[in-house]
Amino acid sequence: MFDLASRDIKYLQGVGPQRAAMLNKELEIFSLHDLLYYFPYKYVDRSRIYAISEIEGTMPYVQLKGEIRTFEVVGEGRQRRLIAHFTDGTGFVDLVWFQGVKYALEKYKVRQEYIVFGKPTPYNGRFNIAHPDIDPAAELKLSSMGMQPYYNTTEKMKRSGLNSHALEKLTATLVKQLTEPLPETLTPAILHDHHLMPLTAALANIHFPVNAETLRKAQYRLKFEELFYIQLNILRYAKDRQRKYQGYRFERIGEVFNTFYTRNLPFELTNAQKRVLKEIRKDLGSGRQMNRLLQGDVGSGKTLVALMTMLIALDNRYQACMMAPTEILANQHYETIRELLCGMDVRVELLTGSIRGKRREEILNGLLTGDVNILIGTHAVIEDTVNFASLGLVVIDEQHRFGVAQRARLWTKNLQPPHVLVMTATPIPRTLAMTLYGDLDVSVIDELPPGRKPIATIHQFDSRRGSLYDSVRKQIAEGRQVYIVYPLIKESEKIDLKNLEEGYHHICEVFPECTVCKVHGKMKPAEKDEQMQRFVSGEAQIMVATTVIEVGVNVPNASVMIIENAERFGLSQLHQLRGRVGRGAEQSYCILVTGYKLADDTRKRLEIMVRTNDGFEIAEADLKLRGPGDLEGTQQSGIAFDLKIADIARDGQLLQYVRQIAQEVVDAEAVAPRPENELLWRQLARLRKTNVNWAAIS
């Protein structure tokens, strides 16, 4: 038995130093193991011949059997192409070459039987196949071809002949050498209980499936394994942490909480808020450290739940701290919470980067003596100079700006790590949350406070600006306020800022009767705050802004959100922006403005936005459209998303299933070491070593 990972790809028959260098550089294939785990991205069934009369516009690839009747060269210059009129007796297709015309003319003959393979495209009332694969029918044995694998390669590789077909040949050579089974990576019990194909068979079949059924089984086995080890890693990590750290026990619900609940709380809690508070109280009383993710759409009332959780900490003689991603948000939380706690004997302080000198000293002192009960702030609160008398709870707002590493820093703020409540308004599909925040428990507020009218979302082409401005004017006349948002993306920052400035002047001209303010991320904080304040106070009716207003800002009187160049925003971001309106009692509107020409994906995004206000539905759609790697938060999450075969968006059910199995393995191990699971821990250790990202969270 040989260890594939230690065998250099260079020595595989058909590779050699030059191709090896190319494989190293382009695909990061260094060993035989790497090649074996470089899976096809698709398969084409080459066992079947289609009749030309069966071809439809949506078919990916077809295989035809027939003959060429005539050749024809048409067009001039770059348009010049060779057309072969091909028929099987049921109809005609055109085979087309834009390059290699001379070569094709020499190689292929009329009235000879060929197997033609390629992608049919409708053109001028019939189908054509550009640059088809053509083989003489006599030379191909169809039944032996089965499902043909296709591998991704790069332009560079293709230019030197290392295309999909070449990779297929190399892989075939390697698979033939696997005469002995490879060491199994799952236990016999798991293989048996879940009807999984053994590893070696799965690897052989993933490249060269005998038929569609074995392919499905091979895929299932390999996806299972991939997701299983991701979950095993996370759950093992969570278990170790649980064992290492005790949690503070908050047993009491006392005066602070009760006073607030009976005297200060301005409204009835929603059922969802009540349920989540119950889940949190259970954690806090359990003696284990709480690590809970609180998800809820914008405006669902997370802040209130966070506050009430902090009051429980206070009732148990601990301090609480709340961390927001921006200064504006920290400010807003500070104001809101002070107002909510009005008349109560609770000291709340704000700590941000701009609070310095004597004021800062006072706050730091108050934290040390325990006089300050609740600290609200930005990243500033996790600096080493900030120390507490007895920090018991940390609330983190808008998780996606904080990585796992930053969360971990909080644990050093007291002898035992404080309880952690993470809030996010970016709804994360459950499957993704389990992977991204797999070490967190999840609570969901899936209900908005009563009396909210759903926001009406409208897609409008920018040529119809005139009528759009008319309706805006009407809203303003009724006393409402309006946001107008421009995109701001780092790479084109200069152009974007210019757009924003131009937009601002344009709006000032169109609405001379209004006061317009302007906010973008390049402003000094003081200037930004001043502009914000003009809008919050109602002095300005229109705010022109970049996405800095994306998170958390709360102006209930603003009822219109216009998003310019909406095609340049992702779904989650559009949804976040839209959440800035619809916070008051009035009917609110979100207008997505775009040009006429739109890509298919963009059109889909806009349609989803118009159709639904449901953040979870939008998040699911976003995940499907973009894939998990591009979603906000995944980059900082410290978890590898370059999965080899599983797809978080599509394999959600399997993910939940394997999580259960991984949980059982971890739980059993906690009771007593299981010799039969030894091989799982060995494999996990191996993966942690080769996967840098995994090591970072463990």
Candidate segments 81-89, 121-129, 298-306, 428-436, binder of ligand ADP by CB under 6 A: 298-306
Q: Is residue 582 at the binding interface for Mg ion, with CB under 5 A as the rule?
A: no
Find how far residue 458's CA is from the centre of its chain.
25
Cβ distance to ligand ADP smaller for residue 125 or 266: 266
What residue 457 binds from Mg ion, ligand ADP, none (CB within 5 to 8 A, per partner kind)?
Answer: none
The answer to whether 223 touches 645, Cβ cutoff 8 Å, is yes
Cβ closer to ligand ADP: 4 or 298? Answer: 298
Nearest distance in Å: CB 303, Mg ion: 5
Orientation of helix 571-578 relative to helix 600-611, angle to 10°: 30
**Shortest Å distance, C-beta 474 to ligand ADP:** 26
- 576 touches ligand ADP (CB under 6 A): no
C-alpha 535: how far from chain center: 33
- The residues, ordered by sequence, that sit 6+ positions from 571 with a Cβ below 8 Å of its Cβ are 605, 608, 609, 618, 619, 621, 622, 625, 626
Q: How far is CA 695 from CA 224, 543, 636, 677, in A?
A: 21, 45, 14, 21
**What's the number of CA atoms in the CB half-sphere (13 Å) around residue 259?**
13
Q: Is 185 in the site for ligand ADP (CB under 6 A)?
A: no
Return the range that interacts with ligand ADP (CB under 6 A); candidates 302-310, 352-360, 609-617, 658-666. Answer: 302-310
Binding at 64: pick from Mg ion, ligand ADP, none (beta carbon under 5-8 Å per type) = none
Q: At its nearest, how many Å lie between ligand ADP and the CB of residue 553?
A: 10
Instruction: Pick the piece of the chain touching ligand ADP (CB under 6 A) from 214-222, 291-299, 399-407, 689-697.
Output: 291-299
Query: Quick one: 426 or 554, whose CB is closer to ligand ADP?
Result: 554
Judged by CB under 6 A, the chain residues 410 through 469 that form the site for ligand ADP are 425, 449
- Between CA 9 and CA 17 the distance in angstroms is 9
Report the C-alpha dihedral over residues 627, 624, 294, 433, rounded to 10 degrees.
-50
**Minimum CB–partner distance for residue 571 and ligand ADP (Å):** 18
Site size for ligand ADP (CB under 6 A): 15
- Tokens representing residue 270 in the block: 């929603």
d(CA 644, CA 204): 16
Q: Give burial (CB, 10 Å; 0-12/13-18/19+) of 200.
A: middle
* Residue 304 found at the interface with ligand ADP (CB under 6 A): yes
Could you say which of Mg ion, ligand ADP, none residue 325 binds, taking C-beta under 5 to 8 angstroms by partner kind? Answer: none
Question: Do the Cβ atoms of 176 and 198 come closer than 8 Å?
Answer: no
401 binds ligand ADP (CB under 6 A): no
Q: Which of 587, 606, 293 is nearest to 429 (CA)?
A: 293
Phi, psi of 150 (to 5 degrees): -120, 130
Q: Does 298 contact ligand ADP by CB under 6 A?
A: yes
Q: Enter the tokens of residue 510.
A: 């169109």
Return the residue nearest Mg ion (CB atom). 552
> With binding defined as CB under 6 A, does residue 301 bind ligand ADP?
yes
Q: Is residue 301 involved in binding Mg ion (CB under 5 A)?
A: no
CA distance 688 to 685: 5
Stretch that binds Mg ion, among 46-54, 94-102, 345-353, 550-558 (CB under 5 A): 550-558
Using CA of residue 581, residue 586, residue 587, residue 592, what is the dihedral sign? negative
Q: Which does 296 bind (CB under 5 to 8 A by kind): Mg ion, ligand ADP, none?
A: ligand ADP
Q: Which is nearer to Mg ion, 132 or 301 (CB)?
A: 301
With beta carbons less than 8 A apart as the criterion, state whether 333 and 324 touch.
yes
Residue 452 exposure: Cα atoms within 13 Å on the Cβ side: 21
Instruction: Tell me which of 273, 373, 588, 634 binds ligand ADP, using CB under 6 A.
Output: 273
Q: Which stretch binds ligand ADP (CB under 6 A): 59-67, 241-249, 299-307, 313-321?
A: 299-307
Q: Where are the alpha helices (DSSP H) in 148-196?
A: 155-159, 164-177, 188-193
**Shortest CB 349 distance to Mg ion, Å:** 20
Question: Which of residues 267, 368, 668, 670 is near ligand ADP by CB under 6 A?
Answer: 267
Query: Residues 551, 425: contact at Cβ < 8 Å?
Result: yes
**Distance in Å, CB of 443 to ligand ADP, minimum:** 12
Stretch that binds ligand ADP, among 133-141, 262-270, 592-600, 628-636 (CB under 6 A): 262-270
Q: Does the footprint of Mg ion cover residue 552 (CB under 5 A)? A: yes
Give the interface with Mg ion as residue ranges (CB under 5 A): 303, 552
Q: For binding to ligand ADP (CB under 6 A), which residues are involved?
A: 267, 269-270, 273, 296, 298-304, 425, 449, 554
